[in-house]
Structure 1
């Protein structure tokens, strides 16, 4: 079994420095910390959790609150969770996954005990009921998502407002003027989930700026729900030539129904998606898309948590700029 002393020798530092990097008790320069973490990873060092906790009164556990709801795309959430777990291990932390829809009760359970040293929260709502408890707690907390009021909070997320604007701008540049947004399930908007609401804000603002006529229609996904949604769109706006999809389960049903109606993509109708690259690349038509940077979001959240635990973190919002990749599903408006 690899010892702490062997890690110290490999990294060219003292044993106490390795201990401080693992415990976060003292501020260590970024270069030294990186060198120690590389040595830990290369040698396969695993600190003894029980001894570590007794010595420091810390659990060396990060609680990840990730409610698994049926109206959310679980693979993306799990990709973020895996990124968080992987990044946390490089700092000597394990991750406790809380998947229930307990809300503030789960926060109270964590903050009122030694269960975890810090928390990362996902599925953030604009008026999230968990926030008052978080603001009162002395635990290190990072949100993956943005509430309406971010004062006193640390948040990491894709810039979803800019994402919506980027999708609308792309279709406008191709000459589309009537666009429809196929959104998440209705329950996502009823909860005022932050990422969905901010995407809509960006879409609406950019559509007004560019003179686009925009319809937003939430959808449960699946062929039956998508057939009803698509029929409504073309009944209300027969000239719709551009679709923006922010619902992974609606992507393939939409493409299939358009084919059934004799509408070719992208010759007759353009489709842009906000989704993981895997979904965009495996669709029946390779989709022009803005990718969800799940791994980057998870990594940044852990880095902000570790900085807070080391007494170096400051509150604030880190937004990842969206990148749109043009593929086979978008083209010039034929009308």
Structure 2
């Protein structure tokens, strides 16, 4: 196997000159650079990855922090992972997957110089990791939006805007009683996006003067039936639902079918979630697609910009338009 000494001898230069040509850390004349590269090609020389990392202080690895909670939707999580790893490879980065929730994992990989930067998923409204990330001196992009986002690089779906779009659509059809089905109870207390969607829902409903009911729902047949009963108890004139929980949606549809409730004749329904997940339902529903893959792609693009020294801290909120598939209509009697 050829060494850097072999390349230097073949090109008639010093080993340090070979190193400078390969690392780009110093300007080398075009003629000398050509001789070195010709020697590299002729000898089949491959720089040692560890030596490259030491020389450049770069590992070409980014850390992807994916806490796997008990109620995490694995299908959605894997969409994020696939988008992040695919985009990272286009930028010549590998991905180190971190699934632990404790902040110690972040400190270990950054203090040990194992990664150049981080993409951190599942950001809470008051996330304790945010203060730690600010001290680690590694660029980080958050997938999610903490309550205080100044000086941070964040990307997420605009859940509040999606909720307003769903309510506005239903109001235009004539609905005056709308229910919101949100993520399961444990997620409600953890994830900021749940609060943002609910705030947008309530804001749009208040502006339109319509009555609302809200309830979280676990992904099970029993929870779906209990959720529907709770919504009706809160609002007897319920004629439409906004569902923000892909895992609970099939159980809700089954429960409605068992009751003989037809969509959209008896009840209108708009889902907010991943099109890839809701596409497996077996029936189409009106959907505001959460572009999971796009969020993951943008997160890596933002991190690559920060690592290249051309990006600044910013918040990017992605949007989508309502795709109508026949699950909404004016309420009966209109």
- Bin of the TM-score, shorter chain as denominator length: 0.7 to 0.9
Alpha-carbon distance, 1:236 to partner? 2.7
Query: Which position in structure 1 is the counterpart of 2:157?
Result: 158
Question: Is 2:285 aligned against 1:279?
Answer: no
Alpha-carbon distance, 1:262 to partner? 1.6
1:174-189 aligned within 5 A: 174-189=173-188
Query: Which position in structure 2 is the counterpart of 1:328?
Result: 326
Structure with max Cα Rg: 2
> Using the alignment, how far apart are the partners of 1:302 and 1:49 within structure 2?
22
- Any gaps of 5 or more consecutive residues in structure 2? 1-19, 27-45
**Cα separation, partners in 2 of 1:98 and 1:47, compared to 1, 3 Å:** farther
Please report the TM-score for the alignment, with normalisation by the length of structure 1.
0.83
Whether the aligned pair in 1 keeps the contact of 2:64 and 2:95 (CA below 8 Å) is: yes
Query: Which position in structure 1 is the counterpart of 2:231?
Result: 233
Alpha-carbon distance, 1:19 to partner? 6.1
Alpha-carbon distance, 1:258 to partner? 1.0
> Using the alignment, how far apart are the partners of 1:120 and 1:194 within structure 2?
17
Whether the aligned pair in 2 keeps the contact of 1:273 and 1:288 (CA below 8 Å) is: yes
Question: Is 2:91 aligned against 1:91?
Answer: yes
**Cα separation, partners in 2 of 1:196 and 1:47, compared to 1, 3 Å:** farther
Alpha-carbon distance, 1:219 to partner? 1.0
> Using the alignment, how far apart are the partners of 1:58 and 1:260 within structure 2?
58
Secondary structure, in 3 states, of the residue corresponding to 2:295? helix
Whether the aligned pair in 2 keeps the contact of 1:285 and 1:328 (CA below 8 Å) is: no
1:265 maps to which of 260, 263, 266: 263
> Using the alignment, how far apart are the partners of 2:21 and 2:238 within structure 1?
62
1:114-125 aligned within 5 A: 114-125=113-124
> Using the alignment, how far apart are the partners of 1:241 and 1:174 within structure 2?
11
**Cα separation, partners in 2 of 1:173 and 1:309, compared to 1, 3 Å:** same
Whether the aligned pair in 2 keeps the contact of 1:135 and 1:152 (CA below 8 Å) is: no
Query: Which position in structure 2 is the counterpart of 1:130?
Result: 129
1:173-212 aligned within 5 A: 173-191=172-190, 193-212=191-210
Query: Which position in structure 1 is the counterpart of 2:32?
Result: none
Query: Which position in structure 2 is the counterpart of 1:12?
Result: none
- Any gaps of 5 or more consecutive residues in structure 1? 1-15, 27-45
> Using the alignment, how far apart are the partners of 1:260 and 1:19 within structure 2?
66
Query: Which position in structure 2 is the counterpart of 1:73?
Result: 73
Query: Which position in structure 2 is the counterpart of 1:100?
Result: 100
Query: Which position in structure 2 is the counterpart of 1:242?
Result: 240
What per-residue deviation string (whole Å, max 9, x for no partner) do you get for residues 126-162 of structure 1?
A: 1000011112221010001100000110001111110
What per-residue deviation string (whole Å, max 9, x for no partner) do you get for residues 174-199 of structure 1?
A: 111111111101011122x1211111
Alpha-carbon distance, 1:284 to partner? 4.0
Secondary structure, in 3 states, of the residue corresponding to 2:95? strand
Query: Which position in structure 2 is the counterpart of 1:39?
Result: none
Query: Which position in structure 1 is the counterpart of 2:12?
Result: none
Whether the aligned pair in 1 keeps the contact of 2:107 and 2:136 (CA below 8 Å) is: no
> Using the alignment, how far apart are the partners of 1:131 and 1:274 within structure 2?
27
**Cα separation, partners in 2 of 1:53 and 1:238, compared to 1, 3 Å:** same
Aligned-residue RMSD, C-alpha: 2.1
**Cα separation, partners in 2 of 1:256 and 1:18, compared to 1, 3 Å:** farther
Whether the aligned pair in 1 keeps the contact of 2:23 and 2:56 (CA below 8 Å) is: no
Alpha-carbon distance, 1:18 to partner? 9.2
Whether the aligned pair in 2 keeps the contact of 1:275 and 1:289 (CA below 8 Å) is: yes
Whether the aligned pair in 1 keeps the contact of 2:306 and 2:312 (CA below 8 Å) is: yes
Whether the aligned pair in 2 keeps the contact of 1:141 and 1:154 (CA below 8 Å) is: yes
1:15-34 aligned within 5 A: none
